[in-house]
Structure formats: C-alpha cells, structure tokens
C-alpha cells in the first residue's frame, strides 16, 4: 500500500491540497513503513501562470457540491493526481469537494486530518486511529 501526504516541507501536512508543493509518499507493508520518497506536485502556482493569474473559476462552488467543480477543475485535478496514481490513500489538511470526489473516483481514498505533523499522522494511520474530518473539505 502507498500513502501520499500533501506537504510543503516534508515535515508538516499542508492545509490546502491545491497549494501544496509536494507529496511525501510512504510505502507500507505489513503495517509498517518500508520506504519514503518525495514527489513534486503540480499545483495552483503553475495554473495561475497558465491562466494569466485567474483561477477563480476552478474554485467556484457547484450548486451545493462545494468547491473545485468550476471550469477546467477536472483537468487540473488530473494533473495534480497523476504523480500519485499508484497510491491508495492521500492525507491532507483540507481540499475542495471536487478534488475529494476526483480522488475517490480514481480509487484513492482521501483522508482529511487536523493533525499537522506527518510522522504523527502516519503513525495514527498505521494504528488505524487517524480520524477523517470531512468538514475540512470546502
């Protein structure tokens, strides 16, 4: 199993999936971490440059569904997810409902956590005590 964690520094969990710079990817076997690697993540910095600075449409709310359903969101989400397509789970401090749905559709379980420290969150995940906080989705 592989668990991706959105991060800006490899130590703390990013509070915003789209703005995070990287993924820390953990390979888990028999209930323990056997390896960790860092992967660069596409994100809003690139998308702002591509769109001339206007990504508001991506974060428009879609008729009671939450954010991340605007024009071009699916394409951008796909680019952010591509590098972790081999992962089973992704941990984040928050994300839009559109991203949450896109991850689930690809078989990647999104878990939103209020824990900031990656090591603590991974330990709780391995111990099956990590709480998912869906209210952290926008």
Task: Give the helix ranges, DSSP H, for the chain.
Answer: 44-50, 73-82, 97-105, 118-126
CB 104 within 8 A of CB 90: no
What domains are defined for the chain? Answer: 2-136 (3.30.420.130)
Taking only the tens place, the pLDDT of each residue in 50-96 is 444 444 444 444 444 444 444 455 577 788 899 999 999 999 999 98
φ and ψ of 73, to 5 deg: -60, -45
User: Which is more confident, 18 or 107?
Assistant: 107
């Amino acid at each position: 199993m592989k668990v991706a964690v959105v991060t800006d520094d490899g130590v703390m969990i990013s509070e915003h999936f789209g703005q995070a710079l990287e993924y820390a990817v953990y390979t888990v076997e028999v209930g323990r971490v056997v390896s960790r690697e860092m992967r660069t993540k596409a994100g809003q910095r690139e998308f702002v440059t591509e769109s001339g600075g206007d990504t508001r449409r991506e974060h428009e709310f879609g008729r009671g569904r939450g954010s991340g359903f605007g024009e071009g969101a699916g394409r951008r989400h796909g680019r952010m997810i591509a590098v972790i397509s081999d992962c089973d789970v992704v941990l984040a401090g928050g994300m839009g409902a559109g991203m949450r749905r896109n991850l689930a559709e690809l078989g990647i379980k999104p878990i939103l956590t209020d824990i900031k420290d990656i090591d603590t969150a991974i330990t709780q995940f391995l111990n099956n005590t990590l709480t998912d906080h869906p209210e952290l989705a926008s």
